[in-house]
Amino acid sequence: MSDEIKQLPKLWTGDHYNEGIGRDDIFDKLREECGVFGVFGIPDACSLGYYGLHALQHRGEESAGMAAVDSATGKFTHYRNMGLVKEVFDQQKLDGLPGDRVIGHVRYSTAGESKLANAQPLIFKYRDGDLAVATNGNIVNAPSIRKELESQGSIFQTSSDTEVIAHLIARSSKDFVSAAKDALQRLIGGFAFLLMTNDKLVVASDPNGLRPLVMGRLAGGYVFASETCALETCGAEYERDVQPGEMLVLDRDGLRLDRFDKLERRATCAMEYIYFARPDSDINGINLHSARKRMGQRLALEAFIDADIVTGVPDSSISAAIGYAEQTGIPYELGLIKNKYTGRTFIQPSQELREKGVKMKLSAVRKVVEGKRVVMIDDSIVRGTTSLRIVNLLREAGATEVHVCITSPPFKNPCYYGIDTPDRKELIASTRTVEEIRTTINADSLHFLSHDGFIEAVGGNDGEFNRGMCLACFDNDYPTPVDPTSEKSCSC
């Protein structure tokens, strides 16, 4: 294990963690870090950036930002603020970002503080001009690199792990591309980077491809995004995935391909397939709606339940619920409805008001579930509090039985690569048996999709698909070195 990994500090402890999951959302669902979007060589790039970021809004609802460059003049502009994309940007703000090159970002913070200084893209002035940095993911060894740089005189502006790459680049005596390559080689973790200067754009994916990143073409230029749905939204044609360890350099001479590291082991995050990415996106050529339907179908084969209706927890479990219903022949019904307009301001400290908040955000359809034996499909169980609340909603609405089926194996281990997860001791599946979890969430039965069943469902007919996923949250097999004594590392 490297010295950098051994020195990882314990940042996710005590009240600090409470700023993460559950800080402002009554449900303890997993959170993706963020989404990135880039445009190169297309006029009015910021307009494309607006639509691309809007398509990626589900990956981060805390802040949004864009940096733009006009290649004709080299002028560099930027704007970022707290809030949703539609709240941060209006036409006046977009008009203030002229150019044919843009990188953009939507953010959800975990251990990093929720403040404007941490909103991305991060912007820096250095010897060669302007530098903007946007990333999706987490740098596991950022704390040790930061400590090293601070001992050498670096002054950090943010608490974001993303800032370390800017300091590594700025301290190098090499040209920008070479400095960026050296900096990327220092990083351990899961990340998708967009780095932009006054005359260049560098795009890079970590050596394991943990975080998704795709490239598209439009009007003679290039578009980069965390998900293919963003390409569809702005009218770009999907070209290919950015490969693990790959570094793309775009400037006035066009696009050239390079590598900063060899492919160690392709390990795209399993939770992208289960939960994070939009169902209309494709990852590694696999459509997520179809994959989630297959998860539901496979779960039906592994855990058939004699019931009256099947319902899915909105929104990520709807596809799987349809698959389960199709496989079993049990009718699929909208037994649960999500109110998408409640926001977060209703969360109050008292338990009574918190429970009312649950019903404001998610409702059981009484006329659908009353007197029925219900199979409730969900994507995962984190602490168990969400599942308990939803099971109780269905019971209060008159369901006679509630059977819970989860389209993933038990979530037992924390993620170090950019997903907001609790410490291991707070993950209910790490300390309790399936029967104990069933009792805790007040379900009549509880079934998880098997490890092999999940792999086969995602890969479809590709029997070798296991080569392409990180399943560490289920099986503790991390694709990079991590420090098991560290609760969690800092996030972007």
**Are 121 and 237 found together in one domain?**
yes
Q: What is the pLDDT of residues 432-479, one digit of tens each?
A: 999 999 999 999 999 999 999 999 999 865 545 545 899 999 999 999
**% pLDDT > 90, the chain:** 73
**Are 167 and 296 found together in one domain?**
no
- Which of 229, 264, 299 represents a domain boundary (last residue)? 264
Instruction: Give the per-residue pLDDT at 44.
Output: 96
316 annotated as ligand-binding? yes
Q: Does 373 have pLDDT greater than 80?
A: yes
Asked, as a colleague might, if the bond just before 199 is cis with ω within 30 of 0, I would say: no
- Give me the chain's average pLDDT, please: 87
Instruction: Give the per-residue pLDDT at 349.
Output: 42
Is 483 part of a structural domain of the chain?
no
Is 50 part of a structural domain of the chain?
yes
**Are 248 and 385 found together in one domain?**
no
Instruction: Give the per-residue pLDDT at 467.
Output: 55
**Are 305 and 252 found together in one domain?**
no
Is 484 part of a structural domain of the chain?
no
Give the total number of structural domains in the chain: 2
Q: Which residue has the tokens 């972007």?
A: 492
- Which of 204, 231, 264 represents a domain boundary (last residue)? 264
Is 239 part of a structural domain of the chain?
yes
Is 24 part of a structural domain of the chain?
no
**Are 297 and 250 found together in one domain?**
no
Cα four-point dihedral sign 320, 322, 325, 328: negative
Region 397-417: mean pLDDT is 95
Q: Which residues pair with 257 in a beta bridge?
A: 248
**Are 288 and 259 found together in one domain?**
no
Region 141-151: mean pLDDT is 93
Instruction: Give the per-residue pLDDT at 217.
Output: 98
Instruction: Give the per-residue pLDDT at 356.
Output: 56
* From 34, 229, 234, 405, the catalytic residue: 34
345 falls in which pLDDT band (50, 70, 90)?
very low
Q: Supply the CATH number for residue 391's domain.
A: 3.40.50.2020
Is 19 part of a structural domain of the chain?
no
- Range from 114-128, 156-170, 310-324 that averages highest in pLDDT: 310-324
Instruction: Give the per-residue pLDDT at 159.
Output: 85
Q: What is the pLDDT of residues 32-91, one digit of tens each?
A: 569 999 999 999 999 999 999 999 999 999 999 999 999 999 999 999 999 999 999 999
Is 221 part of a structural domain of the chain?
yes
Residue 242, C-beta contacts closer than 8 angstroms, at least 6 positions apart: 192, 203, 204, 205, 213, 214, 215, 224, 248
Residue 229 appears among annotated catalytic residues: no
Instruction: Give the per-residue pLDDT at 237.
Output: 97
- Which of 264, 295, 321 represents a domain boundary (last residue)? 264
**Are 311 and 429 found together in one domain?**
yes
Residue span of the structural domain in which 417 resides:
282-338+360-475
379 annotated as ligand-binding? yes
378 annotated as ligand-binding? yes
**Are 252 and 293 found together in one domain?**
no
Is 273 part of a structural domain of the chain?
no
Region 349-357: mean pLDDT is 52
Residue of 124 and 10 predicted with greater confidence: 124
Instruction: Give the per-residue pLDDT at 407.
Output: 97
Instruction: Give the per-residue pLDDT at 462.
Output: 56
**Are 113 and 139 found together in one domain?**
yes
Instruction: Give the per-residue pLDDT at 344.
Output: 40
**Are 222 and 303 found together in one domain?**
no
415 annotated as ligand-binding? yes
**Are 80 and 212 found together in one domain?**
yes
Q: The tokens of 463 are what? A: 């029997």
422 falls in which pLDDT band (50, 70, 90)?
low
423 falls in which pLDDT band (50, 70, 90)?
confident
Name the nearest CA neighbour of 194 among 33, 32, 38, 59. Answer: 38
419 falls in which pLDDT band (50, 70, 90)?
confident
Residue of 421 and 244 predicted with greater confidence: 244
Q: Which residues pair with 308 in a beta bridge?
A: none
CB 247 within 8 A of CB 259: yes
146 falls in which pLDDT band (50, 70, 90)?
very high
109 falls in which pLDDT band (50, 70, 90)?
low
Q: Supply the CATH number for residue 181's domain.
A: 3.60.20.10
CB 224 within 8 A of CB 242: yes
**Are 331 and 389 found together in one domain?**
yes
Distance of CA 373 to the CA centre of its chain: 34
9 falls in which pLDDT band (50, 70, 90)?
very low
CB 68 within 8 A of CB 121: no
Q: What is the pLDDT of residues 259-317, one digit of tens each?
A: 999 887 889 999 999 999 999 999 999 999 999 999 999 999 999 999 999 999 998 89
